[in-house]
Amino acid sequence: MEEIIYKDESYKIQGAVFEVYKEMGNGFLEAVYQECLEKEFSKQKIPHLIQPILEIDYKGEKLKQFYKPDFICFNKIIIELKGVKLISKQHHAQLINYLKATNLKLGYLVNFGASPRVEIKRIVL
């Protein structure tokens, strides 16, 4: 049986996500959920960076292009938020690219637009 990485940290992050969804429901823009989750992370003392710039290398050279995930929590878990009816393959690919760019192992794709409850996809590289 494979051990779940960052189990305690993941539990705290998911708790914060559920708290935001319980309070706000669905139907708001992604930016609203991001601000709410930022407040909830702070309230619950979850260490986080907000939209950090992730540089991309090509054959050892830094590109002008960069990624900006919604959050990096505990300096090791990427959180990417969506406010859409359905999560697409492109959303999955976006999070996988963030993980590759950072060499981090775990990310969460959080869709506040889902109904009847928030959708959380755990992606491990």
Q: Where are the chain's structural domains? A: 7-124
Provide the pLDDT for residue 1.
Answer: 56
- Predicted confidence at residue 68, as pLDDT, reads 93
Q: Where are the beta strands (DSSP E) in the chain?
A: 48-50, 54-58, 61-67, 71-73, 77-82, 106-111, 119-124
Q: Model-level pTM?
A: 0.92
Asked if the 7-124 domain carries CATH number 3.90.320.10, the reply is: yes
pLDDT in tens, 17-76: 999 999 999 989 999 999 999 999 999 999 999 999 988 888 989 999 999 999 999 999
pLDDT tens string 32-44: 999 999 999 999 9
* Euclidean distance between the first and the last CA atom of the chain, given in angstroms as a whole number: 17
What is the per-residue pLDDT across 8-17, written as a single tens digit (0 to 9) for each?
A: 999 999 999 9
* Calculated CA dihedral for residues 121, 45, 100, 103, nearest 10 degrees: -140
Q: What is the mean pLDDT of residues 104-112?
A: 96
Contact predicate 69/80, CB 8 Å: yes
